Structure 1
């Protein structure tokens, strides 16, 4: 018996570091960090994909070597954002003592513009990710950060809120599968019905139309503001949404309704899920209804979200919950506009 206990303890000791090897998304409190790099040249050259080198100083004080690269489409342009979204590559492995231990490459959602109103937009988009986390573990986790940006000359550039997005491979690993990289378009039959319906109903909840769960932009892999995990096989491919700034829920000033849809305002809701998945969408609506207190509760749990912003967002989400108040309402008010 003694030998068995010692064996169990040894196994536990071996397993413990593995469980905590990627701690960044295991906690929810905001982290404070500094990013130092030649930011002005990077921001000026919006058309360039050339990375710049710098350091990310984490909350432990460790200065981690990183490579920064511009990313995104709309928010990358200077006409829309003063400060573009970034991709952060760790050029050496962060130490185990760092919150970034185990991380290699991360997307960083930045503040776009410096005004207080844009800080609220960042927090709303962050809260949308947290809401989808409640609905499905097959989702991108996020971590809020208070970031001090510093130029290569060590002069302060700006300090703003942002958040990191979990890497797709880690999402897949958490869910016992692998990430998938598909050609420009995938067959409808490959989509997992329950996951596709959940994806579409969530986008309906936040009134977002800037996505596709089956196709990517011309010349790029699938999908537009969505990523895939699981086998590329009938009924087994799981689409995962991201990038919610064009939603009515976030209501960014640069967002507008797609011209091909019969809506005039981004706050209007129009269901864009597939009719073949309607039975799964009814089941998803039941799940959303059961989670209504927790979904609305995310707003109160988002640090820095102002009361007026919370109230507007709550009112907007309550319109969705009225639409899915029961199975009959879900069918009549949501699913009747499904995509054939």
Structure 2
């Protein structure tokens, strides 16, 4: 009898140890919703809500229903979620606001997905062809940066049907793209997002900062700042004790050239499509940063040419030539001539 009790206790102990080790392993193998969608094709989102609530309401949160389909079939149908309206500037200037999709934890659990329940949906700002082209252009910038480094936001192109709750057959259709949640980046890279202003230079991973600074120079984007925590997020990597920099929001870049963009030009810029290097950190290493980034030339050009994106051939060619002129400028100059505030003049074609 005593032997049986010892055996039972030992068996119970083994079971507890197994449960403690197997649950984290099971959790690590589960996907997030973004990861699930990232491997699907031709994704269609249907959002059903009170029709005027996104554009004519002061509410920041709208109750809605979502359906998600792809070429693999239906993932969810008419599941409740909350639409959070983002972007104060965009809400003032645009026909349509950017959205944060806040999914119900119960829905994620029913799909056996990890509990990363918020996802940004980048929407059209302007109605019509211009708004759709701007989406293609900005998404292309994310695709180019992703081809350079894994320390980047991944994106998913989607078709969105915006439907009237009171008349479900009345829907507007637009393209858009989903932005990888910060929780997914944490899982993928083993880092943790930190909201800080004006970090010390020696706290930044030089390589990742250099990539972000050179890339924003390449695409003609001045709407970013690590010091001001604007359109560049910091993720702390415990393994190396440094912050990595991941840029985002490229709609104010010259490549997108959004008609709602309003900027004051520095004195050294003669044309709005001139490009200026404004890396706030490692200023004494600007030449090294830009020369190192030149090594990505072939990858950048190849992505513009071949990335899965509905963008037409003519627009791809214009962007490719705009990038090639920048790479030619970097190649032609010695590191000492590539300094903070150096300008790559616009010569047309974009």
TM-score, normalising length from structure 2?
A: 0.79
Please state how far the C-alpha of 1:267 moved relative to its aligned partner. Answer: 1.6
TM superposition shift of 1:284: 5.9
Which whole-Å CA distance do the structure 1 matches of 2:42 and 2:262 have between them? 30
Mark the runs of 5 or more structure 2 residues left unpaired by the alignment: 1-20, 343-350
Residue 110 of structure 1 corresponds to 123
Asked whether the 8 Å contact 1:178–1:230 carries over to 2, the reply is: yes
Decide which of 305, 308, 311 is 1:305's aligned counterpart: 311
How much is the aligned-residue C-alpha RMSD, in angstroms?
A: 3.0
| Residue 59 of structure 2 corresponds to residue 53 of structure 1 | no
SS where residue 179 of structure 1 aligns? Answer: strand
Q: 1:277 to 1:196 in 2, by over 3 A?
A: farther
Determine the structure 1 residue equivalent to 2:83: 68
Match of residue 15 from structure 2: none
Q: 1:291 aligns with which of 284, 296, 312?
A: 296
**Deviation string for 1:13-63 (max 9, x for gaps)?**
x96874451253443744112111124122113xx3530111110111512
Equivalences, count: 312
In 1, the alpha carbon distance for the partners of 2:234 and 2:281 equals 20
| Structure 1: distance between partners of 2:34 and 2:103 | 14
Greater C-alpha radius of gyration: 2
* Per-residue Cα deviation, 1:295-338 (whole angstroms, up to 9, x for no partner): 22323323310122111111111122112226x44542x43537
Match of 2:34 in 1: 24
Deviations 1:210-267 (A, max 9, x none): 111121xxxxxxx1111110069x9712221100000001111122433456424332
* TM-score, with length taken from structure 1: 0.81
User: Does the CA-based 8 Å contact 1:246-1:252 persist in structure 2?
Assistant: yes
CA distance in 2, matches of 1:171, 1:284: 26
CA contact (8 A) 1:65 1:91 kept: yes
* Unmatched tracts of structure 1, length 5 or more: 1-10, 216-222
The whole-number CA distance in structure 2 between the counterparts of 1:98 and 1:123 is 30
Which residue is equivalent to 1:188? 201
